[in-house]
Structure 1
Amino acid sequence: MLSALALPAWSADREYQLRVDGLACPYCAYGIEKKIRALNGVDEDSVTIRINEGLVVFQADTEAPIGEAKLKQLINDAGFTLRSFEHSEEK
């Protein structure tokens, strides 16, 4: 019974850090936050946006990493530019 509740062995928590150009206000941040929270596997409570730094940080528990191209498209669709992308697997 416990095995049905356990996460798959291939699933991993990953932290993502995105540098975004154009973030200027809480309304801008909310648009990006809403799109990121809608991604499959994202821990909704982990989404943090530092407007003054143009930094978006979140965690996701996914089988495979969320690709840079997907996140770039998401940021572009929100009206901003992805400057840099990093992700790391949590230990």
Structure 2
Amino acid sequence: MFKQLLLLLAALMFGMSALAADNQYTLGVKGVACPYCAYGVEKHLNKVDGVENVSVDIGDSVVRVTMAEGATLTEVKARTAVKEAGFTLQSFSQAQAKRGESNDP
């Protein structure tokens, strides 16, 4: 019984992450070179309505933004937030839901 519950919980978590992929964005930000830089970008992006999570990969200068269900991030909003943090937005893309991944039997 316990194993079945764990499997069900794992399936639900996997399913939720697949659904969240529709609300994820990847930003290329020029000049993010240290934790302080990352904090500034996070701080300004978190002020955008609907942002649930921001993670910064300093090594690759990539920022991943997760939006609340039903919310979208426009390139204009992203560019403005990044500029207010003192950086330049180099690229903007919405994560694509992976095809072929399904929890349906």
Q: For structure 2, which runs of at least 5 residues remain unmatched after alignment? A: 1-18, 99-105
Q: What are the Cα deviations for residues 4-49 of structure 1, in whole angstroms up to 9, with x where unaligned?
A: xxxxxxxx840010000011110010011111122211113xx210
Question: How many residues get paired?
Answer: 78
Instruction: Give me the TM-score of the superposition, normalised by structure 1.
Output: 0.74
The Cα of 1:90 is off from its aligned counterpart by: 5.2
| Identity within the alignment, % | 38
Q: 1:27 aligns with which of 36, 41, 44?
A: 36
Structure 2: distance between partners of 1:89 and 1:65: 14
The higher relative CO (CA closer than 8 Å, separation ≥ 6) is in 1
Instruction: Give me the TM-score of the superposition, normalised by structure 2.
Output: 0.65
Q: Which amino acid in 1 is paired with 2:88?
A: T
Structure that is richer in strand per residue? 1
Structure that is richer in helix per residue? 2
Q: What is the DSSP-based 3-state SS (H/G/I as helix, E as strand, rest coil) of the residue aligned with 2:37?
A: helix
